[in-house]
Chains A and B, each alone.
Chain A
Amino acid sequence: MKRWTLWLPLGLFAFFLGLAAYQLTQPKDEFVHSTMIGKPLPRFDLKPASADLPGAKTADFTDGKPRLLNIWASWCLPCIAEAPHLASLREQGVEIVGIAIRDRPEDVARFLAAHGNPYTRIGADDLSELQLAIGSSGVPETFVIDGEGTIRHQHIGDVRAENVPELIEKLQEAAQ
C-alpha cells in the first residue's frame, strides 16, 4: 500500500467530523418551505365551504389587487389563536381568502360564529389538493398573492401580532 493511502481513511473521517460538527451547531429549520414562491397559483375552482360565503377559484386572484390566501380548518387549534390577528388584518383593509382543509360546512359555520369571520371567500379543499399543489405542509399557513395571481410569500404557522405589520408590508411590496 502506498503511504498516502494510509492517510485516506483519516482524511475522510476528518471531513465527516467537520460536516457533522457544522450541522450540529446549525439551527435546525423544521419548516417545509414551498417551492411555489414566485410562481403563479395552480389552477383550482373550489366549492364554497360554508353557506354564507362564495367558494374560491384562481380567477379571483387576477384582478390586480394583492390578497392573502389563508390555509386553515375548523379543527385546527392554532387557527383559533390566529383568528384575532386575521381580524385585525381585515380591519386594515386586507382581503383574505380562506381555504378550509378537510372540513364540514356546519363546523366551518360554528367556527366563524365563535371566532369571527375575516374572510371574503372560503373554498372547501376536501382532499387537500390545493394545499399540496401550493406547497403547504400544514395548517395554518398564509400566502401573499399579488394582483396577477403570483405567489409572493409564505408564512408558516399561525399569524401572531408581530406578523401583522410584516404581512401588510409584503402585501404592499406585492402591489408595486
Chain B
Amino acid sequence: MIPELGLAALWLAAALAALQLTGGAAAQRGDAGDLAALVRPAAILQGLLALFAFTMLLWSFVVTDLSVKLVADNSHSMKPLIFKLAGAWGNHEGSMLLWVTVLSLAGGLIALIERRLPERTMQATLAAQGFVALGFYAFLLLSSNPFERLPVPAAEGLGLNPLLQDIGLAFHPPTLYFGYVGLSVAFSFAVGALLTRQVTPEFARVMRPWILGAWVFLTLGITAGSYWAYYELGWGGWWFWDPVENASLMPWLAATALLHSASVLAARDALRSWTIMLGVVAFSMSMVGTFLVRSGILTSVHAFAVDPERGSFILALLALYIGGALLLFALRAGTISEGQRFALLSREGALVFNNVMLSAALGIVLLGTLYPLLAEALDMRVSVGPPYFNPMSAVFVIPMLMVMTVGPLLRWRHDNIDRIRLPLALLVAIAVTVALLVGLLASVGLLPMLGLVLSVPLALAAFLPLKGRRLTRVPLATWGMVIAHFGVAVALFGMANESAFTRERLAAIEIGGTERVEDWQITLEGVDAVAGPNWTALEARLIAQRGQGEPVRISPQARNFWTPPQQTTESALITRWDGQLYAVVGDQTGDGRWQLRLWWKPFVTFIWYGGILVALGGVLAIAGRVLGDLKRRRVAARSMARRSERGRLRGAAQTAGDRA
C-alpha cells in the first residue's frame, strides 16, 4: 500500500506540473484568467506531493519491504539503518526521485515567498520550472519507476555496493543534487526573464540567493566527494579528473561565474545577456553531468550507475530544455538592451575578467571530458588525464587568481591604479619572497610553485576589503566574500603543498618490522582478522611515532564484503595540523611479509578546510542577502502602514472639517 501511495502522489504531482506549465503559458499569451491564478498553488502542492512520494520510498527502505524491486535490489535487512536510508537514493530510480523532489520543493518555495518580480515574469519562471519537472516525472513514471513491485517478494535484499556503504557517501549525492537543482531555479528565472524581457537588477537580486545556495551545496558536495575518494579508494589522491568529478566541477565553475556576473547585474545593471546565458549554461552543465554519469557513455569509477537506455531519455530531456533555452536566448538576447558601461580598470572589469577565465576553464574541462567521446567517434582510443587538465586549466586559473587578489580592492565603474599602488606593491613583494624561499629550500615543479607563490598574497589580500572599516558594520555579504576568497587561498595552499612535498613509501615488512616515511616511524605490530556486520577484514595493527612524539595506534583494513562480494581498502589516517599520515594495508607476499603503503602528505587537509571556508562564505552571503531583504520588506511594510494611517487621519480630519 505504501509504495502505491507514493506512485499515486507522483502521478498527481506530474499532473500539477502540467497545470503549472499550461497556466504559466496562458498568462504569457495575455489571457491571464483563472488558469494563471492557479500557477502558484499548483507549484506549492506539487512540491508537497513529491516530498510525500519520496517519504514513501524512504519508508519502504526503512522497513525493508522486499516486495519492492528497488528495495530488494539495493538493500538488505541486516544493513544499518542509516545505510538503509542512504540506499533509497544510492541507486538510479531513487536518486532521480530525490532530484525531482528537491526540484519541485524549490519551485514550491519560490511560488510561496517570491513577490519581488512582476507577476508575469514569476508565472513564466514557474512555467519553466514546471516544464523541467514534467520531463523528470515522465522519466520516472515511464522508464524508472522507483515503486515497482516484484511479482514474488524477494527472500533477502541484494545489498548495496559496499564502496557506497560509507557515511560520507550517504550524503554526497544528495548534496550535489541540491546544488544541481538550485541551478535549475536560476535557469527557470533566466528563462522567465528572457520570455518577459525583464532582465533587471531586481531579477539578479531575486536569482542570487538561489545561485549562492546551489553554489554552497556544490562546493560542499565536491569537497566531500574529494575527501571520500581520498580516504576510501586508498590511492591517496584527492582529485583524479574523472569524468564524473568533472561533471560536478563544471556546474561549479559555471555557478561561480554566474554568481559574480549576477552581482554585477544586481549592483550596476550591466552584463545582462551574459548573466542570462550563464544561467542557462550552469543548469546545462548539471544536466550534462547527470547525463554523463547515468548513460555510461564515458568510462569512470562511478560506473556503478550506468544505463545506456536511460541515457537516451536524459539526452532527449537535455535536447528539449537546454536546446530550447539556448534557442530562446539566440532569438531574444539581441532585443535585450546592453545595460550600463564601465571602464576596463574597475570592479566590473575585474569581474568580467574572472568570468571569462572561469568560462575558459569550464571550456577546457568540458573539452577534456568530452574529447574521448569525440576521438572514439573517429575510431581512436584516448584517455585524457592530469597531463592535459592540470596545465591547461592552470593557464586560465592562475591569471584569474592574480586578478582575484586585487579585484575586490577596485571601485565600481572606473578606478585608478595609483590608488591601490601601495597594497599592490606589498603583495608583489610577498609573492617574490615566497618564491625565493621555496626556490632556495626545495626543488618544486612549476605548477606547485605558482600555487604556493599565489596562495600567500591571496590569503592576505582576501582581508584587504575590510581595511579601514568598522568590523561590526561590515555587511554580512562582504564577510562572505572575504571568507570565500580566503578559503580559495587555503585550498590552493593545500593543493600546492600536497603535490610539491608528498612523501611515499611502498614496503613489504614482516610482523615487528619498522618503516620510515619523512619523520614518522611506523611499526607493524600484527595483522588480525576482524568481522563487521556484513564484512570481514584483515586489519593491520600499526604503531606510528613522529620523531620522539607520543606513539599512535592505527589500523588500516582490507575489507571483504559478502553481499555482493567485493573488496575495499579502509585507509588509516593520522591528522596533524601540518599534514596527514596515510596508511593502506595490501596483500601478504609469498614469504609472509605484508605490503604497506605509507604517505606523508603535508597540509593536505587544507584542501578541504579551504572548501569548507568557501562554502561558509557562501552561507554568510546568503544570510546577508536574505536578512537584508527581510529588513527591506519590514521597512516597506512599515512605511506602507504609516502612509495608510496618515491617509486615514487626513480623511478623518477632512470629515471633521466638513462637519464643522
Contacts and interface: CB of A to CB of B under 8 A. Distances in A.
Interface stretch (B39-47, B166-174, B317-325, B533-541): B317-325
Interface residues of B, number: 29
Interface stretch (B20-28, B328-336, B628-636): B328-336
A10 to B, nearest CB: 4
A114 interface: no
Nearest to B324: A10
B329 A20 contact: no
Nearest to B319: A17
A3 interface: yes
Nearest to B308: A24
Nearest to B284: A13
B48 interface: no
A14 B370 CA distance: 14
Given A19-B373, A24-B295, A9 B281 contact: yes
B511 interface: no
A19 B377 CA distance: 8
B376 interface: yes
B315 A21 contact: yes
A17 B318 contact: yes
A113 interface: no
A6 B297 contact: no
Interface centre among A10, A26, A28 (most CB of B within 10 A): A10
B291 A20 contact: yes
Given A13-B322, A17-B323, A24 B334 contact: no
Interface in B328-350: 329-330, 333-334
A10 B370 contact: no
Given A10-B326, A16-B370, A3 B319 contact: no
A19 B372 CA distance: 11
Nearest to A9: B326
Contacts of A1: 273, 333-334
Interface string B537-575: 000000000000000000000000000000000000000
A26 B308 CA distance: 10
Nearest to A7: B330
Contact of A24 (B280, B297, B374): B297
Interface string A34-74: 00000000000000000000000000000000000000000
A92 interface: no
B327 interface: yes
Nearest to A104: B590
Contact of B376 (A9, A10, A16, A23): A23
B586 interface: no
B243 to A, nearest CB: 13
B639 interface: no
Interface string B251-292: 000000000000000000000010001001100100010010
Contacts of A23: 297, 373, 376-377
Contacts of A10: 323, 326-327, 329-330
Interface centre among A14, A21, A23, A26 (most CB of B within 10 A): A23
A26 B379 CA distance: 11
Contacts of A16: 288, 370
Contact of B330 (A6, A19, A26, A28): A6
A133 B576 CA distance: 43
B311 A24 contact: yes
Contacts of B311: 24
Given A20-B291, A24-B295, A9 B370 contact: no
B390 interface: no
Contacts of A7: 330
A19 B370 contact: yes
Contacts of B296: 28
A140 B261 CA distance: 57
A21 B308 CA distance: 11
B433 interface: no
Contacts of B281: 9
Contacts of B291: 20
29 contacts: A1-B333, A1-B334, A6-B329, A9-B277, A9-B280, A9-B281, A9-B326, A10-B323, A10-B327, A10-B329, A13-B284, A16-B370, A17-B315, A17-B319, A17-B323, A19-B370, A19-B373, A20-B315, A20-B373, A21-B312, A21-B315, A23-B297, A23-B373, A23-B376, A23-B377, A24-B295, A24-B297, A28-B296, A28-B308
Given A3-B334, A19-B370, A20-B315, 16 more contacts: A6-B329, A6-B330, A6-B334, A9-B280, A9-B326, A10-B326, A10-B330, A13-B284, A16-B288, A17-B315, A17-B318, A21-B312, A23-B377, A24-B295, A24-B312, A28-B296
Interface of B: 273, 277, 280-281, 284, 288, 291, 295-297, 308, 311-312, 315, 318-319, 322-323, 326-327, 329-330, 333-334, 370, 373-374, 376-377
Rank and list the top 5 A-B pairs by shortest CB-CB distance, nearest first: A10-B326, A6-B330, A7-B330, A6-B333, A9-B326
